[in-house]
Structure 1
Amino acid sequence: VITGMKICDGTGGFKCFRRKVLESIDLDKIKSNGYAFQIEMNFKAWKNGWKIKEIPIIFIDRVEGASKMSKKIVQEAVWMVWKLRLRSILGKL
């Protein structure tokens, strides 16, 4: 919602990009990791005019082990969403 992209989940599922899409993105300027990386890649592809198609997946909750998601990863993702939105408004993307 914040970014303006018309997608339901910017971090879930599998990602497939056409070669042309990846070539249109300056990968050296991708600064984020983890979940924020997925958000940033989706956003930059969308801002370059590429369509994003979501295909639903069935997510099964973890039954063993522990999540690798840290507070830092969550903070990075939240910050990245607002940073992308602000840069988009200011025309700096």
Structure 2
Amino acid sequence: MVHTPVHASWTNQIEIFFSIVQRKVVSPNDFTDLSEVRDRLRAFEDRYNSTAQPFQWRFTTSDLDDLLARLDRHTLDQQEESSARLSA
């Protein structure tokens, strides 16, 4: 059993890492055997660990608030248009 904290933003980082592995190591799927997969993954791990940098997040909480407000306005506009069409 693995304890996962309520705030699980670390899962996003894991998903990003596996996405990178998928794009840079596993695809295309042209392996002849599992030892080739292992060797390629280990080589990638060594290279990645020596050059890895923290992710620079550019999407701030203020950006999120703005996006959610725009989505709320859009949803409200759509509901009003739909109501107007039904009553016409």
TM-score (norm 2): 0.30
Greater radius of gyration (CA): 2
TM-score (norm 1): 0.29
Q: Give the number of the structure whose residues are more often helix, by fraction.
A: 2
